[in-house]
Amino acid sequence: MRLVAGVLAFALAVGGGFAAADEVYTKIGFPAGGAADNAGRLVARHIGRFLDGNPDVIAQNVPGAGGVRLMRLLASSEPDDGSVVALVSVSAVVLGVLNPDSAAAMDEQLAWIGALSKEPSICAVSADSGVTDVEGFRTESFKIGATSRTTQTYLQAAFLKKLLDARYDIVTGFSGGPEVNLALARGELDGVCGISLYTFLGSKFNEGKRIIGYVGPEPSPDVVDEAYISFETLIEDERDLKAVRLLMTSKYALFGFAMPATTPPDIVDAYRAAFDAMVADEAFQADAVRFLPVLSPSSGVEVESLLAGVLDTDPAVIARARELAK
């Protein structure tokens, strides 16, 4: 399962049910300052109002292995008494299906509370690249930058190159998005894939860049004025399309909250109710718009259903996804 992480401390009350501790901790599995950190702290500011006892909620970063470290703690050693909940990326679940032996792979042994958003993932090119549309994206020779081979920046560029029979080169080895951006600014690269559309539109990074197309959820008409092309409409083979959707699973459940799988159902249900009430709250929505241009939440049941489908993927589709991700 690709993930963000958050933890909320709770104690069981005597006589059935549970009551919130005086202090609750939202642990975030990524460094401070990024989108995951913003999402975790956003939830920390509001979730306490919808939990029994209205506890104070303290945000805390627990970075490591792209969020996988905190996920492993949830799956192995964290208590299941309601004291732990994590805002995590579902990409580690997908990686576990595609490559079970990967050090970053996780199976879906978590109880999901909900997810904050869904977002298309784009490919964009420099205005100086000479590429103006999908045909040019497919036929011109240029360079696309990517970080590691397990990230969306590489995966999206890789499968589109194969499916579109494109001629661009994928340049890897960048330590992160900022380094890719600097290479683009210096003219060492011509484009990038795997970038979230709304994040792109709201950043300075979009200056001098042209969006070619997207994969994943359709753009929200409330935010996006232009009609961008979906690369998925160019994929004719049904197995290829299913393989692409498997690779893009994380875009359908961004910033997802989970708890240890052994957490009692009544506690899971209480957290799910709190999450659902929170995302429907006007004060939360007004605060969220500063960090999430589109709030498109999924319930815990919806996230679990999404991941159940991933775990039940046809082996032929998994095999094809592996080929496309190379």
Distance, CA of 113 to CA of 93 (rounded, Å)? 16
Closest CA to 265 of 221, 301, 215: 301
Within this chain, domains 10-118+253-325 and 121-247 share the same CATH topology = yes
Q: What sign has the CA pseudo-torsion 126, 132, 135, 136?
A: negative
> Tokens 């627990």 label which residue?
62
| DSSP for residue 3 | -
| DSSP for residue 101 | T
Kindly tell me if the per-residue pLDDT of 182 is higher than 80. Answer: yes
Residue 48: what residue type? G
Residues belonging to the chain: 326
Closest CA to 289 of 39, 27, 36, 115: 39
Please state the rounded mean pLDDT for residues 71-75: 84
Least confident of 16-30, 58-72, 229-243, 247-261: 16-30
- Exposure class string for 77-102: b at 16+ Cβ within 10 A, else e: ebebbbbbbbbbbbbbbbbbbbeeee
Kindly tell me if the per-residue pLDDT of 15 is higher than 50. Answer: no
Residue 6: what residue type? G
Domain 10-118+253-325 has CATH 3.40.190.150: yes
Residue ranges per domain, the chain? 10-118+253-325, 121-247
Kindly tell me if the per-residue pLDDT of 237 is higher than 60. Answer: yes
C-alpha angle 277-87-103 in degrees, rounded to nearest 5: 155
- Exposure class string for 258-295: b at 16+ Cβ within 10 A, else e: bbbeebeeebbebbbebbbebbeeeebeeebeebbbbb
Please state the rounded mean pLDDT for residues 238-261: 93
Please state the rounded mean pLDDT for residues 296-323: 95
What pLDDT is attached to residue 107?
65
pLDDT digits (tens, 9 = 90+) for 101-116: 776 667 667 899 999 9
Whether the model clears a pTM of 0.75, i.e. scores above it, the answer is yes
Confidence label for 234 from pLDDT (cuts 50, 70 and 90): very high
What pLDDT is attached to residue 13?
34
Kindly tell me if the per-residue pLDDT of 177 is higher than 90. Answer: no
Domain boundaries 121-247, CATH class? alpha beta
Please state the rounded mean pLDDT for residues 229-253: 95
Beta strands 209-215 and 121-126, pairing class: antiparallel
Kindly tell me if the per-residue pLDDT of 137 is higher than 70. Answer: yes
CA terminus-to-terminus distance, the chain: 18
